[in-house]
Chains A and B, each alone.
Chain A
């Protein structure tokens, strides 16, 4: 079955700096990769997703890159702000598979003002 590894487990940056979180997956059939942000005591919120037919997707300060050959994808947050502090989860699934997501273990991002 699919296995998703996520690094680092914790990440601390200064406000204004960039943050990068990386994930690798094992199943080459996976073709949908969402990223979720979870604040303390709340449910995960989808922040960006990418399908395997594109290599990069950007939404304002957030971007995701995908390397299908190497089976890894990354989340990039530029100009970080204190409100970006949260736990971020990557996930992988196969489109049309009823949406079963395999999650990484999460990255706790702390943005220091």
Chain B
């Protein structure tokens, strides 16, 4: 149980285009999901906290107009990187909290974004 999926696992796009990444909780309902960014050989950096049915809370320094987050249901949150640039290339990971177990974050497998 407690499986989180992400799609796509890898994406390559051209500068200026937008990319959408999906995060799904497969076998539980998640009122809260998180989006992280991870650079090579570094720890996870929290970008935003996503609550179902409300606006996401962004961490300081994260542009909300560039990284659009939508948490439309209890099992799906999406991150859209708008007008992507090479510096947006990174490993993006989502996590979800099981509504029935509010203490534990379960992570997705990550999405490798490369912007050319």
Interface residues of A (CB under 8 A from B): 32, 34, 36, 41-46, 49, 51, 89, 93, 95-96, 98-101, 103-106
Contact = CB atoms under 8 A, between A and B. Distances in A.
Contact of A43 (B42, B49, B93): B93
Contacts of B108: 43
B106 A46 contact: yes
Q: Is the interface of A mostly helix, strand, loop or mixed?
A: loop
A99 B97 contact: yes
Interface residues of B, number: 22
B93 to A, nearest CB: 5
A74 to B, nearest CB: 18
16 contacts: A32-B103, A41-B112, A43-B4, A43-B109, A43-B110, A44-B44, A46-B104, A46-B105, A49-B104, A51-B103, A89-B43, A99-B32, A99-B102, A99-B105, A105-B42, A105-B43
Which 6 pairs across A and B sit closest by C-beta, in order of nearness? A43-B107, A43-B110, A43-B109, A44-B107, A103-B43, A105-B43
B46 interface: yes
Chain B interface helix/strand/loop/mixed: strand
B34 to A, nearest CB: 8
Contacts of A51: 103
A36 B34 CA distance: 16
A43 B4 CA distance: 10
A96 B32 CA distance: 12
B93 A44 contact: yes
A36 B110 CA distance: 14
A63 to B, nearest CB: 18
A40 to B, nearest CB: 10
